Amino acid sequence: MIEEQKKFAPYKHLEKSILAGSMGGRNSEVAIFLTGLICVSTLFLFASRHLITFAHMLESEAEVTAAKELKHKALIRLLQQAYSAEKAAAFAYQGHAASVKSYIEKIAIRQIEKDEWNHRREVLQLMNLYDVPVSTYYEVRFYIIGKVISTSCHIIGRFMPFYFAGSLESGNVCEYFRMRQYFNSIGISDHDEILYEMGMKEKEHEVYFLEKIRNNRLLPFFERFFSWGKNRSKNNVDLDKKYPFDRSEHYCKKE
């Protein structure tokens, strides 16, 4: 209880000033608005933290249930994570599309958003097939992440949303190829083609975002610190030399 009081202590002085009428006229109205905004934001973060903790407790029990049907813990976690992360990506692209001025770019980013929702449906079908439950923890976590990124697209300029979207998609490529490898390791190859297609679609997204910032002067600096750009990728897929799904086992394979 004492710790919770300390968290809200910085706002008490501002509240007293408002109630005492030390801020008059329009300044008072602005102060009241800002105080309300701060309090609502704090309460939201406070509630989110406890909700995520509770969801994390539920997740452990759900994983045990799923393991009875699919004997691969890493695959279970990857399916759950991919399902929820696709929602975060879709939310992020909603904000990204709204923040760009070009109509053509809006259409392209909205199409990528649709692709992410479609991937989420495909992953859910796999989860249902093997009785893998949706992770409440990941759902809450990635919901918050997606909404925060969506909002930030309106305030961080043009370059960074394109850059980090490309970097994210670059990593997502291997997510689906690893998923395929995990299935293959337990003797399941029925999903090779759909996972290959989703991985390739993520690669197309990566290439699109990179092309939008390829000549930006900030790219070399960001590439140096975040390990993605013109000369670095988080996967070994080359769309110009694409292997068919039945000969693509080497994609994203760890040495």
pLDDT in tens, 84-110: 999 999 999 999 999 999 999 999 999
Distance CA 244, CA 255 (A): 21
Q: Last residue of a domain, which of 115, 134, 154?
A: 154
pLDDT confidence tier of residue 255, bands split at 50, 70 and 90? low
* Same domain flag for 243 and 176: yes
pLDDT value at position 118? 98
134 and 163 both lie in a single domain: no
CA–CA separation, 178 and 198 (whole Å): 12
Residues 79 and 3 in one domain: yes
Q: What is the mean pLDDT of residues 8-32?
A: 41
φ, ψ for residue 55, nearest 5 deg = -65, -35
User: Do 127 and 25 fall into the same domain?
Assistant: yes
User: Rounded distance, CA 94 to CA 151, Å?
Assistant: 9
Model confidence band, residue 69 (pLDDT cutoffs 50, 70, 90): confident
Could you tell me which residue, 10 or 87, shows the higher pLDDT?
87
Residues 63 and 116 grouped into a single domain: yes
Considering the domain architecture, whether residues 148 and 177 belong to the same structural domain is answered as: no
Percent of the chain having pLDDT more than 70? 73
pTM (predicted TM-score): 0.73
Torsion of CA 55, 46, 117, 110, to 10 degrees: -170
Q: Structural domain of residue 133, as residue ranges?
A: 1-154
Last residue of a domain, one of 154, 184, 209: 154
Contacts of 85 (CB under 8 A, 6+ apart): 138, 142, 172
**Are residues 231 and 108 located together in one domain of the fold?**
no
Residues 172-205 as b/e (b if ≥16 CB within 10 A, e otherwise) read bbbbbbbbbbbbeeeeeeebbebbbebbbbbbeb
Q: Residue 67's pLDDT is what? A: 47
| End residue of a domain, out of 122, 154, 186 | 154
Tokens linked to 44: 């939201």
Residues 6+ apart with CB under 8 A from 190: 183
Q: Are 101 and 70 in contact (CB under 8 A)?
A: no
Same domain, residue pair 118 and 161 = no
Q: Are residues 166 and 142 in the same domain?
A: no
Average pLDDT over residues 67-71: 67
And the tokens for 129?
Answer: 């097939």
Q: Mean pLDDT in the chain?
A: 82
Whether residues 103 and 201 share a domain: the answer is: no
- pLDDT tier, 6 (very low <50, low <70, confident <90, very high otherwise): very low
Q: Is 43 found in the same domain as 90?
A: yes
Total domain count, the chain: 2
* Contact (CB, 8 A) for 174 and 252: yes
Distance CA 45, CA 187 (A): 43
- Same-domain check for residues 59 and 116: yes
**In this predicted structure, what is the pLDDT of residue 253?**
86
Instruction: Specify the pLDDT at position 245.
Output: 85
The pair of three-digit structure tokens given for residue 192, joined into one six-digit string: 């090779």
